[in-house]
Amino acid sequence: MDSSNGERPPQGEDAPAAAAGSIGGYESLHRLLQSNLSPELFKEASRLLLGLNCGRALEAISLPEATSALAKAHNFDVQAFRFDADKEYLRQPQVVRVGLIQNSISIPTTSHFADQKKAIMEKVKPMIDAAGDAGVNILCLQEAWTMPFAFCTREKRWCEFAEPVDGESTQFLQQLAKKYNMVIVSPILERDVNHGEIVWNTAVVIGNHGNIIGIHRKNHIPRVGDFNESTYYMEGNTGHPVFETAYGKIGINICYGRHHPLNWLAFGLNGAEIVFNPSATVGELSEPMWPIEARNAAISNSYFVGSINRVGTEVFPNPFTSGDGKPQHADFGHFYGSSHFSAPDASCTPSLSRYRDGLMISDMDLNLCRQIKDKWGFRMTARYDTYASLLSEYLKPDFKPQVIVDPLINKSA
């Protein structure tokens, strides 16, 4: 199963040299297995790794020539798959086409900030055009897409990239949203001009008419490794909003929130059908978790998840440390891309490239969400009253864990 609609670079032994971030010259684990296993073994490996949708392997979908041409001209990976649902008698299919964009920065971080931002926007525009040409209804960009992920440095000058909700990047995307009749989720560094000009990590939801539907601010801020983000912004104050768009109900679980199951749960309780996880994360820290957490969230909450991660290694002018015992260094590590979709029936797409820019597209029948709720009954069998009681007690200063101790635990044998 290979849905690449653009021209892929040579893989494995055919590659002239292993690209930085590749897996032995391959763009992804899926492509490594496809190139090195027999068709029969690859089919079985794919079943185990990617699951089945309605009892079948995911089907690749063909994209317009204009989309493939843009991918070839601008050297980005493009893949497309379809998630089906069972036929129903009382509801028509609710098929929506959704896209994810991952990208590297364009010019060195030593360049003028205005030039960096302009270069990123110029890089991303052909990818948005490719999504628009392909008829994508909802598109999500990566976390803090307008800038390098400079929050490792603790240098406050990077706050200059922050902008109001209706700032330059939003205006840029509003035109494209209107042109392509597309909802666009734009994660930015927000400058809250009405509240002391403080900074937030924010996703702006732009409607298909070019209007701003609303915003969501990142709920969970990491304090691990080089992720020194609390130097710049704190936990968000927007709750867990779900945005009812022309194409479906969407939520945005920004980056580190994917490590918190209750964060995923809250978007589900508010009725989300698709939850996006725009991220910026590096291989050494989180890659083993990457294919697991979002997929588990899709399963347990009966919605679709779109996972986006930036790509490349961003080198900063001044070396830094993060109090973790490592010597000073000037980069975060490799952002491994690997953006993908997960479905409520436990199926998922292969991942985009670990080192190239990419556009992942999926047709998804939102009827699958309710079908899986009916099949597994997770909402019906959950014990929310019990969980609420425990959490209420846990928040009290005198909370005591419910631990039953063996009265003979210290008795000699």
* Catalytic machinery residues: 143, 218, 255
Cα–Cα distance measured from residue 355 to residue 118, given in angstroms and rounded to the nearest whole number: 22
| Strands (DSSP E) found in 169-230 | 183-192, 198-206, 212-217
Neighbours of 14 (CB within 10 A): 9
Cα–Cα distance measured from residue 122 to residue 67, given in angstroms and rounded to the nearest whole number: 17
Question: Percent helix, strand, coil in the chain (nearest 5)?
Answer: 30, 25, 45
Cα–Cα distance measured from residue 279 to residue 393, given in angstroms and rounded to the nearest whole number: 33
Cα–Cα distance measured from residue 239 to residue 81, given in angstroms and rounded to the nearest whole number: 32
Cα–Cα distance measured from residue 77 to residue 407, given in angstroms and rounded to the nearest whole number: 61
CB 335 within 8 A of CB 280: yes
114: helix, coil or strand? helix
Return the amino acid letter for 303.
Y
Residue with tokens 């998804």: 364
Backbone angles phi, psi at 99, to 5 degrees: -130, 150
